Homo-oligomer: A and B are copies of this chain.
């Protein structure tokens, strides 16, 4: 269902409006009226006749709406106790109402009865093609049509940021913060339980809305990762999307589960998916609020050089700022110390000198209160300069407290991003620059084409190796050992036990190397068979031998399957350092050769593969192909939960899978 009339209704009915100002329904009604919404506003209350000076109606049926088509353009905001809601919606749906917000709690989050109610709600929505936001949410604000359909106070001026929150509390904290900082959103959308509408529906609606500069979402779970990546990658081609995903730690994700009742999914997979979508990754609330602050200034979009210029009246603060610029991998344009006795005039002169310079795009103004410092006048100089040069990106950090807070307030009112600490300014700026550098290369996500294959029916070692070979991942020649037959391979050999009881071969001391004669091979086999006698009663455990590979780089390749984001491919440093450095990169399984190379080149050991420092050059192309082929395998074999190749030997002329582990 289109959300056109959901977000831009011709009229709004508030079910649960009341004369009692303490009731949420009344607060919502007041907000809609005070916000200056141009359409009809209908209070709905079973008993009351007039509310807030307007006629009230007993039900949706009684509204002065004649045509079914008009009901379709109406938004019904529901703030009555949960047990009455389903009937209300049924009645509305019968009249042709399509758009609802359910503010009330008492659903999924509230025991088995609530869960049942939510299931019924979803079914109802599906049956009648309804848009329902919530339940258990704050509602939404659309400043472009002066509609504040929440019970929270908020400014009216249309802003350029859309803010989505799965947590009502974080949503209300954001609105509260924005009010203090005197700036406004374009959209505020509280997702609540996401029984019907979820983040993906909202992203789809926001697509192509040029009034927006930035979309920020706080999410606790992403149910349909594939759709999410499709939509967000399309959005991110045009404007930054930033995601704060709660539950990144095991403990946090456990807590999120008990809090929202929905599984958080694998944190690493979710991050890979969010990054694949081209979204800005946020590490916490501080980063989220700092990013909002940064995007106050529209000139973030300016093109051209990306180095950051610094004006300061304190050398020490400049040094710390430059330290942070370097830590963030940014380039310092120049740092200009106006010295401790700089008054506002000196700041003004510096800005006047730098702003006309075409090389200079981004200026961070630092101020520290000293004897001649004029914080307010300096703020005014910055504001004037920003107005004169609207395309220059000017941000500020005024250190201190008592002396500077009025000046900071002025800057906030004038939409200049102002930070308590220079580190925050630099860190947020880096996120913005990263986005600007990446969105052009971002590829819109499409679900990979899958050529279905006959499912793998067991985890037999040799069968799994054969599967790799079927997907053109070459394998080290591997033979089943039999005491009766002489070895069919030459040179130093490796003997290992494989099968369900030997998933961790090294730890089980089930690998013997340097076997350079038939005698040594037989000896090793006897010992292995003796050491693990009980295991070998199960014929699924057996011995294999392979030629020993030397002079290759060891890489780990694999995938795990995430419920939401699908197969997540992994490539990284193999061998004894796999666990030590956890030097791996993850990607979704739509990898092509370019993407695979990009992924590999992000590894710290990439220079070694490239042949740095006089070493030999390894077959990168073969590694890239193996990665792409593993993606194909992962897509074609949904029955495989996880697969590891470790080591994959990367030689100078090919790659060879040395070992494999499959989990169905």
* CB under 8 Å from chain B, chain A span 152-204: 165-170, 172-173, 176-181
* CB under 8 Å from chain B, chain A span 214-262: 218, 220, 244, 246-253, 255-256, 259-260
Residue A284 lies at the interface, judged by CB distance under 8 Å to chain B: yes
Q: Is there an interface contact between A370 and B605, defined as CB atoms closer than 8 Å?
A: no
Residue A281 lies at the interface, judged by CB distance under 8 Å to chain B: no
Contact partners of A151 in chain B: CB under 8 A: 371
Q: Is there an interface contact between A170 and B332, defined as CB atoms closer than 8 Å?
A: no
Q: Is there an interface contact between A317 and B167, defined as CB atoms closer than 8 Å?
A: yes
Residue A492 lies at the interface, judged by CB distance under 8 Å to chain B: no
What's the tally of chain A residues with a CB closer than 8 Å to chain B?
87
Give the residue name and chain of the B residue nearest to A321 (CB).
Answer: B252
Q: Is there an interface contact between A284 and B320, defined as CB atoms closer than 8 Å?
A: yes
Give the residue name and chain of the B residue nearest to A259 (CB).
Answer: B315
Residue A621 lies at the interface, judged by CB distance under 8 Å to chain B: no
Q: Is there an interface contact between A316 and B176, defined as CB atoms closer than 8 Å?
A: no
Residue A46 lies at the interface, judged by CB distance under 8 Å to chain B: no
Residue A335 lies at the interface, judged by CB distance under 8 Å to chain B: yes
Q: Is there an interface contact between A323 and B508, defined as CB atoms closer than 8 Å?
A: no
Partner of A180, one of B318, B322, B405: B405
Q: Is there an interface contact between A167 and B508, defined as CB atoms closer than 8 Å?
A: no
Give the residue name and chain of the B residue nearest to A327 (CB).
Answer: B249
Partner of A581, one of B173, B176, B604: B604
Partner of A604, one of B180, B253, B405, B580: B580
Contact partners of A340 in chain B: CB under 8 A: 168-169
Q: Is there an interface contact between A247 and B319, defined as CB atoms closer than 8 Å?
A: yes
Give the residue name and chain of the B residue nearest to A247 (CB).
Answer: B319
Residue A613 lies at the interface, judged by CB distance under 8 Å to chain B: yes
Give the residue name and chain of the B residue nearest to A320 (CB).
Answer: B246
Q: Is there an interface contact between A318 and B255, defined as CB atoms closer than 8 Å?
A: yes
Residue A119 lies at the interface, judged by CB distance under 8 Å to chain B: no
Partner of A506, one of B169, B370, B614: B614
Give the residue name and chain of the B residue nearest to A509 (CB).
Answer: B614
Partner of A613, one of B324, B369, B371, B506: B506
Q: Is there an interface contact between A319 and B256, defined as CB atoms closer than 8 Å?
A: yes
Q: Is there an interface contact between B284 and A421, defined as CB atoms closer than 8 Å?
A: yes
Chain-B contact segment, one of A30-38, A394-402, A460-468: A394-402
A529 to B577 CA separation, bound complex (whole angstroms):
37
A56 to B191 CA separation, bound complex (whole angstroms):
71
Contact partners of A259 in chain B: CB under 8 A: 315-316, 318-319, 337
Residue A404 lies at the interface, judged by CB distance under 8 Å to chain B: yes
Contact partners of A289 in chain B: CB under 8 A: 421
Contact partners of A177 in chain B: CB under 8 A: 399-402
A325 to B248 CA separation, bound complex (whole angstroms):
11
A322 to B177 CA separation, bound complex (whole angstroms):
22
Contact partners of A317 in chain B: CB under 8 A: 167, 169-170, 173, 285
Q: Is there an interface contact between B400 and A172, defined as CB atoms closer than 8 Å?
A: yes
Q: Is there an interface contact between A326 and B251, defined as CB atoms closer than 8 Å?
A: yes
Residue A47 lies at the interface, judged by CB distance under 8 Å to chain B: no
Q: Is there an interface contact between A248 and B323, defined as CB atoms closer than 8 Å?
A: yes
Contact partners of A506 in chain B: CB under 8 A: 613-615
Residue A361 lies at the interface, judged by CB distance under 8 Å to chain B: no
Q: Is there an interface contact between A404 and B167, defined as CB atoms closer than 8 Å?
A: no
Residue A576 lies at the interface, judged by CB distance under 8 Å to chain B: yes
Partner of A402, one of B179, B420, B604: B179
Q: A248-B327, A506-B613 are in contact. List 20 more A-B contacts (CB 8 A).
A: A167-B315, A168-B370, A169-B315, A169-B368, A170-B316, A176-B400, A176-B404, A177-B402, A244-B320, A246-B323, A251-B323, A251-B332, A260-B315, A283-B423, A284-B422, A284-B423, A286-B423, A507-B613, A577-B577, A581-B604
Q: List 19 A–B pairs whose Cβ atoms lie within 8 Å, in order of A's numbering.
A: A166-B316, A172-B368, A173-B400, A176-B401, A176-B403, A177-B400, A178-B401, A179-B402, A251-B323, A251-B326, A252-B319, A252-B320, A285-B320, A285-B421, A506-B613, A506-B615, A580-B604, A580-B608, A581-B583
The 7 closest A-B pairs by CB, nearest first: A180-B401, A167-B316, A169-B314, A249-B326, A176-B400, A259-B315, A252-B323
